[in-house]
Amino acid sequence: MKGTGMRPSQRVAFFPAAIAAAALSLAGCAASTPVETAGSSTPGATAPAAFRADSLVTVTFPDGKLSFQHPKGWHVEFFNASESPYVGTATVFDPTSQAKISIYTGQIADVVASSAARTVLETDPVPGLVGQSVPTPHSSFFVDRSGDAATYRMGLTPGLPVSPDGEVRDGLVMLGDRVLTADVVFTGQPFANDEEAKAWYWGTEGQALKALLMSFSYR
């Protein structure tokens, strides 16, 4: 599935981007304790062998609205940067303490203009976010190409990563008065080509990260 498109910059929050940057800069000074519950599961979520229901930890952001799951042995660092307007961040680490997923949720955000030729490698709707946002957020794995450069990306997208009319969709998942971004952290150029990327995605790590993205829920 391929698509190209261009969107102008669009403000989706109630506060300037400068405030968002300032709030996020407070993250290192405002650690909060999340709620963790072992052994629960999200109906419909993908569950590879490394992500079985009996080896899961459910984690909830300090404000109690957004939850997700990760395998035992992984850990999360939460930062509650601002209470009003709410700004929260989380970084998910694997057992070697390597950052794997970066998450942002809050009432401050901007959409940045984007233009790319996109190839979608895999995309699936997130069960726990059905009905919480329109279009339904997806867990997506795709590659954006500009000239000879290829950028592999994996994370939540607001609906399909390429719309039915061919528009490339970037930006933010809207959840009530909050926005959400969740992106897998890739270092450098992670894959030599699409076939290598697909092999990784269908392997243990790729499927564990997909299962984490598929486990998001909001209340």
- Note down pLDDT in tens along the chain; length 219 residues: 444 333 333 333 333 333 333 333 433 333 444 544 433 333 334 445 556 666 789 999 988 899 999 999 999 999 988 888 889 999 999 999 999 999 999 987 766 556 779 999 999 999 999 999 999 999 999 999 988 899 999 999 999 999 888 888 877 899 988 899 999 999 999 999 999 999 999 999 999 999 999 999 998
- Interior angle at CA 69, CA 82 and CA 44, nearest 5: 125
Same domain, 129 and 157: yes
Q: What is the pLDDT at residue 50?
A: 53
Q: What is the distance between the alpha carbons of residues 4 and 145, in angstroms, rounded to a whole number?
A: 10
Q: What is the distance between the alpha carbons of residues 184 and 180, in angstroms, rounded to a whole number?
A: 14
Same domain, 89 and 54: yes
This prediction's pTM: 0.77
Same domain, 138 and 85: no
Structural domain count, the chain: 2
Is the CA virtual torsion 174, 151, 209, 27 positive or negative? negative
End-of-domain residue from the set 106, 132, 154 = 106
End-of-domain residue from the set 64, 87, 106 = 106
pLDDT tens figures, 53-99: 667 899 999 888 999 999 999 999 999 888 888 899 999 999 999 99
For 183, the enclosing helix (H) or strand (E) is strand 178-184
182 falls within a domain: no
Q: What is the pLDDT at residue 46?
A: 45
Same domain, 141 and 155: yes
Among candidates 66, 71, 64, 107, which has minimal Cα distance to 92? 71
Q: What is the pLDDT at residue 136?
A: 94
Which range marks the domain in which residue 56 is found? 17-106
